[in-house]
Structures are given as C-alpha cells and as structure tokens.
Chains A and B, each alone.
Chain A
Amino acid sequence: MAERTDDSKMTATPLTRVLGILGIAAVVFMVVLGLFISPPDVVQGEAVRMLYLHVPSIWIAYGSFVLTSVSSLLFLVRSRRREDGGRHYDRVAGSAAEVGVVFTGLTLITGMLWGKVTWGTYWQWDARLTTTVLLFVTYLGYLALRRLPADPIVRGRRAAVMALISFVNVPIVHYSVDWWRTLHQKASLSVGRRPEITGEMYWTLLYSALTVTIVGAWLIIHRYRVIRLEELRDEENLKMLISSRRHERSADSAADGEVS
C-alpha cells in the first residue's frame, strides 16, 4: 500500500466538486435554453438547435489542443531541467488531448446529423469535414503513442513532438471555410467580423460555450488526476517487482551457499 505523501494531495477535490455541481446546473439550463427558449431559425427551423452543441464542441476541442501544445512545449523545454522531468506538463497535455478528441468526435457526430437535415447528406469530402476528421485521427494517434511502453520521459518527449506537429492542423481546420470553397458555412462567430447570428440565438450559443467549457475543464482536471494515479500505481508496481527480484536473488544465493 502507498503511504500518504504530498503526492496524494493532488487528489484534493473541493474545487472539482464545486465545478461538477456548477457543470450539472449549467447543463440543465443549457438544455432548457437550447431546446425550449431559443427560437427556431427562419431557414433551418428546429435543426438550428444543433448549433448549440456542434459549435461549442469544436471550440472546446480547439482549446484543449492549444493546452496540449503549450504543455507539450513546456515539457520539452523543462524536462531536462527539473527533477521530476516536468511530467506535470506531460500529464496536462495528455488529459487535454483526450478531452479534445472526445469533443472533436462529438463535433463530427453532431455535424453529420445536422448535415443530413440541411445538406441532405451525412458526409461530404469537403475541406472542413476532411480536415476535421484528420484532426480527430492524428490526435487519436497521439493518444496511442502515449500508451506505448517506454521510459516516461522518452515517451513524453515523443508525444510532445507529435502534439506540436498535430497542432498545425488546428488553424487549417478553422480557416478551411475561408481558404477553400466548401459546403460548410463560414464561422458563426469570428473575431473582427459581425456575428452571423443575433438575439436569443447568439446568447444561447455563448452560454452553451460557457457550459461546455465548464464540463471540459472538469473532465481535464479529473483525467489529469487519473493519469497521476496511474503513474503512482506503475511506480508502486515497479518497486514491488524490484524488491521481489532482490528477495529471489538473495534466496538463491543463500541456497547456493548451503550447497557449496
């Protein structure tokens, strides 16, 4: 059994409990706002309600991948200097990437459903959809790389490099609708451009983004904690294995001594 050390304090939970309760309350209000209070669109009708899931999902995915990249960069810079190899940054990168992948998957699912109603097809190999699915697959590859057996620091460095390479696709996904002719509409909200939507729809979209951010933050914090626990367990298992090997070797030496 592990002794309670300073490491165990990382499992402190009051913040995540408050965040969790806040998240549940926010989701309930988001359902009421998104499904009942906000009006149907003049052109798209009820289908516009997919906007409140689809757009915030990709925003939180972008945010998660930004966090993954920044943490990966910090890990690469600091892993040589710090005693613990800067593994904190590696954990942040891993947890954020996993949450980003979940939300990218949700973006694809909600987008396909929305596309069926508005475009008449679930899928079209246009620039936005293709680059998004590529984003999903490259970060899945990143998560797979993190699971390969290797020294944690070496594995962390390999993963960090892959995270930085994968991030190149994020701006390509975002600006694909501006750079190429696509079936996908242009961004609903964009810095320096007048919003495409207004009124209750606009506020519902912003509120949904806030809600999804709270849920995403809760998930990243928890996933970080679980990665830390996995590392502690692996360290414990390694210590036990080494101690059992030493015990076996000393028993063998004693037996050899008796024979000679």
Chain B
Amino acid sequence: MSEVATVATGWGLTFVVIVTYSLWVVSRGRSIGRELGIGEAQPSGLEQESDLSPDT
C-alpha cells in the first residue's frame, strides 16, 4: 500500500469509527429518552424544550 493510500485509509477508518460511535450514542439516548417520555415533556417556567431533549 502506498503512503497516500495508507493515510487515506487511516483517516477514513478513524472518521467512520468516530461517526458510527457518535451516532450510536445519540440514537440510543433518543430512543431511551422517548421510551421514558423525557423528550415529550412540555417545558415550564424558564426551562427551554432543548433543556429536556435527549438529542445532541
């Protein structure tokens, strides 16, 4: 494998791993949050909806 191909493979694999893991963490948080109804709760007072969302 040439130097350029090695670098491209290394950087590519790193991004695939990090993006896949990040998406897994976010989607798991969303799915459990939805199960618990946390994301559906209506904000009250000074709280913002984004403060309760299990999203990023």
Checking A14, A35, A215 against B51 with a beta-carbon cut-off of 8 angstroms, the contacting residue is: A14
> Contact: B41 with A47, CB < 8 Å?
no
Residues of B within 8 A of A20 (CB): 56
Stretch of A1-9, A82-90, A142-150 lying at the B interface:
A1-9
Determine how close the nearest CB of chain A comes to the CB of B38; give it in whole angstroms: 5
Interface of A is mostly: helix
Q: Which residues of B contact A49 (CB under 8 A)?
A: 7, 11
Size band of the B side of the interface?
Answer: 20 to 34
Q: Contact: A226 with B32, CB < 8 Å?
A: yes
Q: Which B residues lie within 8 Å of A225 (CB)?
A: 29, 54
A226 touches B28 (CB 8 A): yes
Interface of B is mostly: helix
Q: Counting CB contacts under 8 A, is A222 at the interface? A: yes
Q: Which residue of A lies closest to B32 (CB)?
A: A229
Known A-B contacts A4-B41, A229-B32, A233-B32; A47 and B3 likewise in contact (beta carbons under 8 Å):
yes
Q: Is A116 at the interface (CB under 8 A from chain B)?
A: yes
CB-contact partner of B52 in A4, A16, A31, A35, under 8 A: A4
Q: List 13 A-B contacts (CB under 8 A).
A: A9-B47, A11-B33, A20-B56, A35-B7, A46-B7, A49-B11, A102-B21, A106-B14, A110-B14, A114-B10, A222-B22, A229-B33, A233-B32
* CB under 8 Å from chain A, chain B span 28-51: 28-29, 32-33, 35-38, 41, 47, 50-51
CB distance from A218 to the nearest CB of B (A): 8
Contact across chains for B51 and A9 when beta carbons are under 8 A apart: yes
Q: Is the CB of B51 within 8 A of A13?
A: yes
In angstroms, how far is the closest chain B Cβ from the Cβ of A90? 18
Q: Please indicate which of the listed interface residues B13, B36, B55 has the most CB atoms of chain A within 10 Å of its own CB.
A: B36
| Min C-beta distance of A238 to chain B, whole Å | 13
A228 to B: closest C-beta gap in Å: 9
